[in-house]
Amino acid sequence: MVRITIPYLSFRPNVDFLRTKQGIIHRISWRWAFYAHVMTSTFVLLLGIFQFLPGLMKRYPGWHRLAGKIYIVLVLFISGPGGLIMGFYANGGWPARISFIILSMLWMGFTFFAFVLVRKKEFEWHADYMVRSYALTLSAIALRLYAFFLPSIILLEPNTAYRLIAWLSWIPNLIIAEILIRKKRSKAQNRISSFSPKQEEALPGQ
């Protein structure tokens, strides 16, 4: 992601992906959205990783909270809105645009719910929504992986392939996130169920 981002630091209008956007690059709102989204994406990816390292959370809870706050601010106010605006002008026509618009709205929505829930000290629910949020953050990587591998697996017309990739970049991620969340909750429920009344009575201090 860093390697992909570096060429755009020149702010030249004909770099890589921007060559496909010559018809709208003159729009200030789109340029702002593009650079806001691109320049913060790597930071969002890195900050998200640190939200799920148990050792870091236990040993450095202050860093966990700081990284989480920065992640939420970037997604809700910079990268997310930038992605949403870009979604309305995405390549591949409306099938792809609808996908990216939904992706951006869900990304910001899940992140907002994670913020609200942690403020209410609903930490389990907060963690679930952060998993969902980060699953959508990883769509940036998934999209590029599909774009690299899919053409060698399925022969499709470029626009059709891009439309398919637009949906594949986040729906499987979200399905995996839901499976992980339900698996975690099932394990927690099993631990509660296995805690018999006799075990509870045997606890010291009871």
Rounded CA separation 186/68 (Å): 26
Q: Residue 121: its pLDDT value, please?
A: 94
Read out DSSP for 150-189?
HHHHS---HHHHHHHHHHHTTHHHHHHHHHHHHHHHHHHH
Q: Is 80 within 8 Å of 133 (Cβ atoms)?
A: no
**Mean pLDDT within 69-93:** 96
Rounded CA separation 69/178 (Å): 23
Phi and psi at 205, nearest 5°, equal 85, 0
Segment 11-19 long-range contacts (CB within 8 Å, at least 24 positions apart) = 11/35
pLDDT, tens digit (0-9, with 9 covering 90-100), for 114-158: 999 999 999 999 999 999 999 999 999 999 999 999 888 888 888
User: What's the one-letter identity of residue 194?
Assistant: S
Q: How does residue 93 score in pLDDT terms, banded at 50, 70 and 90? A: very high
Rounded CA separation 176/189 (Å): 20
pLDDT, tens digit (0-9, with 9 covering 90-100), for 102-116: 999 999 999 999 999
Domain range annotation of the chain: 2-190
Q: Residue 60: its pLDDT value, please?
A: 82
Q: Residue 155: its pLDDT value, please?
A: 80
Q: Among residues 114, 122, 173, 166, which one has the least CA distance to residue 144? A: 166
Phi and psi at 190, nearest 5°, equal -65, -40
**Mean pLDDT within 25-29:** 92
Where is 200: in which H helix or E strand? helix 197-202
